[in-house]
Chains A and B, each alone.
Chain A
Amino acid sequence: MRRKDVSQEQADFAEFYAGSRDDCLRTVLAAVRDVEQAQDLVAEAYARAWASWPKVSRHPAPRAWVVRTALNLSVSSWRRHRRELPLTGHDAPARGPAPIGVDTELAAALQRLPARQRQVVALRIFLDLDTEQTAEALGIAPGTVTAHLTRALTALRTEFAAHGSEGIHRG
Chain B
Amino acid sequence: MDDQDVITAVKASYAEIHMDVPLDVVVGRGRRLRIRRRLPGLAVAAGAVAALALAVAAVVPGGGKATAPGGGTGTGRLAAWTIVSQPNGSVRVALRWPGLRDVAGLQDKLRADGIPARVARIGYLRPPLNVPGCHVFGDWSAGPGGISHALWLKIFYGPHTGQQSDHAFWVYPSAIPAGLGVLVDIYYDGTFGLYVVKASPECTGT
Contact with B along A41-61 (1 / 0, CB 8 A): 011101111111100000000
Q: Which one of B22-30, B66-74, B102-110, B128-136 is at the A interface?
A: B22-30
Q: Do A43 and B25 touch (CB < 8 A)?
A: yes
> Closest residue of chain A to B6, judged by CB?
A156
Q: How far is the CB of B51 from chain A (nearest CB, A)?
A: 21
Counting contact residues on chain A (CB < 8 A from B), the size range is 35 or more
A157 adjacent to B3 (CB under 8 Å): yes
- In whole angstroms, what is the CA distance A48 to B34 when docked? 8
Interface residue count on the B side (C-beta < 8 Å):
36
**Contact with A156, one of B10, B21, B34 (Cβ below 8 angstroms):** B10
Question: Judging by beta carbons under 8 Å apart, are B3 and A17 in contact?
Answer: no
Chain B residues near A121 (CB, 8 Å)? 10
Given contacts A17-B23, A39-B125, A40-B124, whether A26 and B17 have CB atoms under 8 Å apart is yes
Q: Which residues of B contact A168 (CB under 8 A)?
A: 9, 13
> Which of A30, A50, A161 makes the CB contact (< 8 A) with B31?
A50
Q: Do B14 and A50 touch (CB < 8 A)?
A: no
Whether the pair A153, B6 counts as a contact (CB closer than 8 A) is: yes
How far in angstroms is the closest Cβ of chain A from B58? Answer: 23
Give the CA-CA distance A168 to B26 in the complex, in Å. Answer: 35
B202 part of interface (Cβ distance < 8 Å) = no
Query: When the two chains form the complex, which single residue of B14, B21, B29, B187 contacts A26, counting CB atoms closer than 8 Å?
Result: B14
A107/B13 in contact, CB under 8 A: yes
Instruction: Report whether over half of chain A's contact residues are helix, strand or loop; otherwise say mixed.
Output: helix
- Neighbouring A residues of B19 by C-beta, 8 Å: 21-22, 24-25, 39, 42-43
Complex CA gap A168/B13 in Å reads: 10
* Residues of chain B at the chain A interface (Cβ within 8 Å): 1-3, 5-7, 9-14, 16-21, 23, 25-27, 29-31, 33-34, 37, 98, 123-125, 140, 187-189
25 pairs from A and B in contact (CB 8 Å cutoff) = A10-B140, A17-B23, A21-B19, A21-B21, A25-B17, A25-B19, A29-B14, A39-B19, A39-B125, A40-B123, A40-B187, A43-B29, A48-B33, A49-B30, A50-B33, A51-B33, A77-B188, A101-B14, A102-B16, A103-B9, A107-B13, A125-B11, A157-B3, A160-B6, A165-B1
Give 6 new A-B contacts, CB below 8 A, not counting A36-B125, A47-B33, A160-B6.
Answer: A29-B17, A35-B17, A35-B125, A46-B21, A50-B26, A157-B3
A residues bordering B, Cβ < 8 Å? Answer: 10, 13-14, 17-18, 21-22, 24-26, 29-30, 35-37, 39-40, 42-44, 46-53, 77, 80, 84, 99, 101-103, 106-107, 110, 121, 124-126, 153, 156-157, 160-161, 165, 168, 170
